[in-house]
Structure 1
Amino acid sequence: MENPISITDSAAEEINNILTQKKVPEGYALRVGVKGGGGCGGAQFTLGFDQAKETDIEYETKGIKVLIEKRQMMFLLDLEIDFEDRRDERGFVFNKVSAQ
């Protein structure tokens, strides 16, 4: 099975920086989630660090362990996490990648 979510090189680098700088404890992984309403554009994607739960799908990409709650999987499939560092804004960007 292909990874449900991809992470660009720049996002992987920033995630690894955060893991190091914030001293995230051993055994924690990147949790990708969704919150907010259904429908078009109503959902917001979330990132954080957490320990795996029984209801998670867990995989690794670019050396980063990723956790996704099974019931949120359909909202997160084909998502690409990128990191942009521009003069006026800096942060993670979520892009839907067409699987067609």
Structure 2
Amino acid sequence: MSQSPDINAVKHYLLGLQEQICSRLEALEDEATFVRDAWDRPEGGGGVSRVITDGKVFEKGGVNFSHVMGETMPGSATAHRPHLAGAPGKPWACLW
């Protein structure tokens, strides 16, 4: 029998990973820091976008996390994967 993944544990891990990545990248910069933008999706879920600009090392960069859910897969997930269009939505998380 397979076990279901602990969604909250995965989400917590990925948000921690996002924080580690941003902290390490900020350490390379003298003054530039990531700006954090938490957002909610009306159909369910949300995410945290982190963007750094005008640094000496990075002109612009982002480390984003999203955890969304709904009746069908979101357009952003199916734009380059048309075979998934209309597939049942399940909670999913992404860090990019």
TM-score greater than 0.5 by the shorter chain: no
Query: Which TM-score band applies after superposition, normalised by the shorter structure?
Result: under 0.3
Q: Which has the higher Rg, Structure 1 or Structure 2?
A: 2
Greater relative contact order structure (CA < 8 Å, 6+ sep):
1
Q: Quick check: which one's helix share is greater?
A: 2
- TM-score normalised by L of structure 2: 0.25
